[in-house]
Amino acid sequence: MPKLDRYLFREFAQSTFAALVVLMIVSLGGVFADVLGDIARGRVPAGLMLSQLGLMVLNYLPLILPLGLMLGLLLAVGRLYRDSEMPVLVATGVGPRRLLRPVMMLVLPVVGFIAACSLWLGPWANDYSQRMVAEGNRNLLLAGLEAGRFVELPGGGGVVYVGAMSGEGSALGRVFVYRHDEDRMDVTTARTGLLTVDGAERYLDLGEGFRVEGPLGEGLDFRMMRYQRNELRLPDAQTRAAEDNPEYATTLALLSDPRVEARAQLHARIAPPLLALAFALLAVPLARSPPRQARYSRIALGFLGYVVAMNFMSLGTRWIEDGKLPSALGLWWLVLPLLAFGAWMYFRDGQVAVPRRRRGAEAAR
Q: Residue 360 to residues 63, 352, 355, 357: CA-CA distances in angstroms?
A: 49, 17, 9, 5
Average pLDDT score over the chain: 81
- The CA distance from 50 to 132, in Å, is 12
Amino acid (one-letter) located at 245: N
> What is the DSSP secondary structure assignment for residue 246, as one 8-state letter?
G
> In this predicted structure, what is the pLDDT of residue 315?
93
> In this predicted structure, what is the pLDDT of residue 144?
58
* φ and ψ at residue 91, rounded to 5 degrees: -65, -25
Axis-axis angle for helices 296-322, 49-82 (nearest 10): 130
> In this predicted structure, what is the pLDDT of residue 231?
84
Residue 249: partners with Cβ closer than 8 Å, 6 or more residues away:
123, 257, 262, 265
- The CA distance from 211 to 30, in Å, is 42
Which residue positions in the chain have pLDDT lower than 70?
1, 40-43, 45-46, 95-96, 134-145, 153-157, 167-170, 197, 199-201, 234-243, 290-295, 350-365
Residue 283: partners with Cβ closer than 8 Å, 6 or more residues away:
69, 70, 73, 74, 77, 302
Query: Please, are residues 42 and 143 in contact by the beta-carbon 8 Å criterion?
Result: yes
Cα dihedral angle (123, 310, 31, 111), rounded to 10 degrees? 60
- The CA distance from 275 to 84, in Å, is 30
Per DSSP (E only), the strands in the chain are 149-152, 158-165, 171-180, 184-198, 201-215, 223-234
> In this predicted structure, what is the pLDDT of residue 168?
63
Q: Taking the model in full, what pTM does it have? A: 0.72
